[in-house]
């Protein structure tokens, strides 16, 4: 690096320390789930407006973006921060009414955007860069509340239930060449972890329909939807040995609705489920097997079943982003010391978690390293921000420094990242076309007049 960007950015971002820390506390105290993050949206919008930035809002959903233009031609790098919270009622600081809490650190991401924008808009920084930096506050990364999001989809308010996919569809990623962000995670010492990527995921909703009857007096005359659901789960468990081990396949389900009363035979049972795998083709293959299990279980109990494959979170493959990973590693070593930075892009070094950042990465180069900070253990009741300096301020400094490295010297490193990347889809349109094919709302069992049944799970 010709410029000591880590040193330059760290020195400048401390000017925004109070602004960032106040934002972190405010958003932490106002946790909201996907597409409902209006408190965080309004708070951040007002702060950015006060800083002189004119944001472009997504409109009828939460989230916004704006560009910082260097005035010189070059690539566009998007820096993302997520807005939504989890539902974790066990957390001592969750919203007592909703159970929502930022136990994944998204409030650190979004509050860090204030310092990032401040640093990258400084004239002496812009003078050394080319292209544009797009600052994006994005909604709805956590894949929760499927029923509510499906209602939004059915009403036409959204087409995709993940925030980044919906932003892609709405054109908010148009013109973006590279997208970067960080994710908070726990660690004894502050540092950076850059691994091979994440799993892909299919978000599913399955509805078994039986017949309602009195459970004690007349079970012979009914078809128990709950038994059908339980049979399906057993069938899926029996399939596990057929799943490719190296792809770390996981099938996770909950019964979201399981009946009205123990006195009545459950006539409708709703399952929400995720299917996960490292590879996209394997993900689709395993999902077809799972759907076969749902259809087979339904017909064995004489119930109907509707399978809804709602959306896919694409696998994130950082080994396809070696140059981008190297930049994150260089910046991390400068800021935290080499001993506190881990770079391992091996196939097996992937997270079983999933993120819609993988959807963006199926079209353009992306990376999402993990920022290790004390107390920031994800998705657990013990999550807390022990050090806002590292969880927020250094969070912003890493991303701002990466953007500077990418866009200095006429965008030399950014152009190398772009040319060395092999996307899954050639355009956002192609990506959206594939997502539309994946969506499925299918009655998987049809009963014929002759007593036979027709199963269609693919």
- What's the 3-state SS for the chain? CCCCHHHHHHHHHHHHHHHHHHHHHHHHHCCCCCCCCHHHHHHHHHHHHHHCCCCEECCCCCCEEEEEECCCCCCEEEEEEECCCEECCCCCCCCCCCCEECCCCHHHHHHHHHHHHHHHCCHHHHCCECCEEEEEEECCCCCCCHHHHHHHHHCCCCCCCCHHHHHHHCCCCCCCCEEECCEEECCCCCEEEEECEECEEEEEEEEEECCCCECCCCHHHCCCHHHHHHHHHHHHHHHHHHCCHHHCCEEEEEEEECCCCCCECCCEEEEEEEEEECCHHHHHHHHHHHHHHHHHHHHHHCCEEEEEEEEEECCEEHHHCHHHHHHHHHHHHHHHCHHHEEEECCCCCEECCCCCHHHHHCCCCEECCEEECCCCCCCCCCCCCCCHHHHHHHHHHHHHHHHHHHHEHHHHHHHHHHHCCCCCCCCHHHHHHHHHHHCEEEECEEECCCCCEEECCC
* Residue-wise pLDDT tens digits, 40-71: 999 999 999 999 999 999 999 999 999 999 99
Assigned domain for 329 exists: yes
Q: Which of 110-119, 210-219, 316-325, 418-427 has the lowest mean pLDDT?
A: 210-219
Give the pLDDT of residue 219: 62
* pLDDT score of 33: 97
Q: Residues 133, 13: one domain? A: yes
CA separation for the pair 318, 303 (Å, rounded): 44
Query: In terms of C-beta density within 10 A (0-12 exposed, 13-18 middle, 19 or more buried), how is residue 316 classed?
Result: buried
Regarding whether 354 and 282 lie in a shared domain, the answer is no
- Are 68 and 159 part of one and the same domain? yes
Assigned domain for 61 exists? yes
Residue 275 CA to residue 239 CA, distance in Å, equals 13
Residue 66, in any domain of the structure: yes
- For residue 321, being part of any structural domain is answered with yes
431 lies in a domain?
no
Confidence of residue 352 (pLDDT cuts 50, 70, 90): confident
pLDDT band of residue 122 (cuts 50, 70, 90) is: very high
pLDDT of residue 415: 98
Q: Are residues 214 and 184 located together in one domain of the fold?
A: no
Q: Which range of residues forms the domain containing residue 258?
A: 201-313+437-455
Rounded Cα distance, 55 and 1, in Å: 31
User: Are 192 and 143 part of one and the same domain?
Assistant: yes
Predicted pLDDT at 1: 46
With 80 as the cut, is the pLDDT of residue 289 above it?
yes
Mean pLDDT lowest for which of 83-87, 100-104, 142-146, 413-417?
Answer: 142-146
pLDDT at 433 over 80: yes
Strand-pair partners of 68: 133
Residue given tokens 């659901």 in the structure block: 229
Residue 217 has pLDDT above 70, yes or no: no
**What total of structural domains would you count in the chain?**
2
Considering only CA atoms, which of 420, 194, 185 is closest in space to residue 326? Answer: 194
Asked if 161 and 293 sit in the same domain, the reply is no
Cα 315 from Cα 361, distance rounded (Å):
8
Mean pLDDT of the chain, nearest integer: 94
Q: Please check the confidence at residue 218 and state whether its pLDDT lies above 60.
A: no
Residue 2, pLDDT > 60, answer: no
Minimum mean pLDDT range among 90-104, 114-128, 337-351, 422-436: 337-351
Rounded to whole angstroms, how far apart are CA atoms 146 and 158? 13
373 and 360 within one domain: yes
Q: pLDDT: is 147 or 65 the higher one?
A: 65
Report yes or no on 258 lying in a domain.
yes
CATH of the domain at 97: 3.40.630.10
Claim to verify: residue 218 and residue 89 sit in the same structural domain: no
Q: Which residue has the tokens 């509510």?
A: 148
Kindly state whether residues 162 and 207 are assigned to the same domain.
Answer: no
Residue 208 in tokens: 């078994």
Closest of 165, 419, 142, 458 to residue 274, by C-alpha: 142
Provide the token pair at 214: 């009195």
| Claim to verify: residue 88 and residue 171 sit in the same structural domain | yes
CB-CB contact of 396 with 20 (8 Å)? yes
Taking only the tens place, the pLDDT of each residue in 198-209 is 999 999 999 999
d(CA 286, CA 77): 35
The verdict on 286 and 325 lying in the same domain is: no
Whether residue 429 is contained in a domain is answered as no
Q: What is the mean pLDDT of residues 352-366?
A: 96
pLDDT tens, 225-283?
999 999 999 999 999 999 999 999 999 999 999 987 787 888 899 999 999 999 999 99
310 within 8 A of 143, measured Cβ to Cβ: no
CATH classification at residue 281 = 3.30.70.360
Residue 392, token pair as written in the block: 């927020």
- Asked whether residue 368 carries a pLDDT value surpassing 80, the answer given is yes
* Residue matched to tokens 């946790």: 31
> How many residues are recorded in the chain?
458
| Distance (Å, whole) CA 253 – CA 356 | 20
Both 67 and 184 in one domain: the answer is yes
Query: What's residue 121's pLDDT?
Result: 98
Task: Report yes or no on 128 lying in a domain.
Answer: yes
């Amino acid at each position: 690096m010709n410029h000591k960007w880590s040193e330059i950015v760290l020195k400048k971002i401390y000017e925004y320390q109070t602004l960032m820390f106040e934002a972190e506390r405010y958003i932490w105290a106002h946790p909201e789930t996907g597409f409902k993050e209006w408190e965080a949206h309004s708070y951040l919008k007002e702060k950015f407006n006060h800083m002189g930035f004119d944001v472009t809002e997504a409109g009828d959903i939460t989230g916004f973006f704006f560009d910082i233009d260097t005035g010189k031609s070059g690539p566009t790098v998007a820096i993302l921060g997520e807005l939504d919270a989890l539902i974790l009622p066990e957390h001592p600081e969750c919203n007592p009414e909703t159970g929502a809490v930022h136990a994944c650190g998204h409030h650190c991401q979004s509050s860090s955007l204030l310092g990032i924008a401040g640093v990258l808009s400084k004239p002496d920084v812009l003078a050394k860069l080319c292209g544009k930096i797009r600052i994006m506050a994005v909604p709805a990364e956590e894949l929760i509340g499927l029923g509510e999001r499906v209602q939004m989809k059915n009403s036409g308010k959204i087409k995709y239930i993940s925030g980044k996919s919906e932003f892609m569809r709405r054109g908010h990623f148009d013109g973006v060449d590279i997208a970067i962000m960080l994710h908070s995670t726990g660690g004894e010492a502050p540092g950076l972890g850059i691994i091979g990527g994440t799993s892909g995921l299919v978000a599913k909703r399955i509805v078994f329909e039986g017949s309602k009857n009195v459970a004690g007096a007349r079970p012979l005359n009914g078809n128990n939807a709950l038994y059908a659901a339980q049979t399906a789960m057993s069938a899926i468990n029996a399939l596990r040995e057929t799943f490719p081990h190296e792809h770390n396949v996981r099938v996770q389900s909950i019964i979201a609705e399981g009946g009205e009363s123990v006195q009545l035979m459950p006539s409708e049972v709703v399952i929400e489920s995720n299917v996960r795998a490292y590879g996209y083709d394997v993900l689709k293959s395993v999902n077809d097997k799972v759907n076969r299990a749902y259809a087979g279980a339904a017909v064995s109990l004489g119930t109907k079943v509707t399978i809804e494959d709602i959306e896919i979170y694409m696998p994130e493959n950082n080994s396809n982003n070696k140059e981008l990973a190297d930049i994150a590693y260089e910046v991390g070593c400068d800021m935290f010391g080499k001993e506190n930075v881990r770079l391992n892009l091996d196939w097996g070094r992937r997270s079983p978690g999933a993120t819609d950042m993988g959807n963006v990465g199926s079209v353009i180069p992306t990376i999402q390293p993990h920022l290790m900070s004390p107390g920031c253990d994800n998705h657990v009741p013990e999550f807390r921000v022990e050090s806002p300096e590292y969880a927020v301020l250094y969070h912003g400094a890493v991303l701002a420094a990466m953007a500077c490295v990418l866009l200095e010297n006429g965008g030399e490193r950014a152009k190398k990242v772009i040319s060395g990347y092999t996307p899954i889809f050639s355009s956002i349109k192609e990506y959206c076309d594939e997502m539309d094919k994946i969506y499925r709302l299918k009655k998987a069992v049809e009963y014929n007049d002759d007593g036979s049944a027709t199963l269609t799970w693919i």
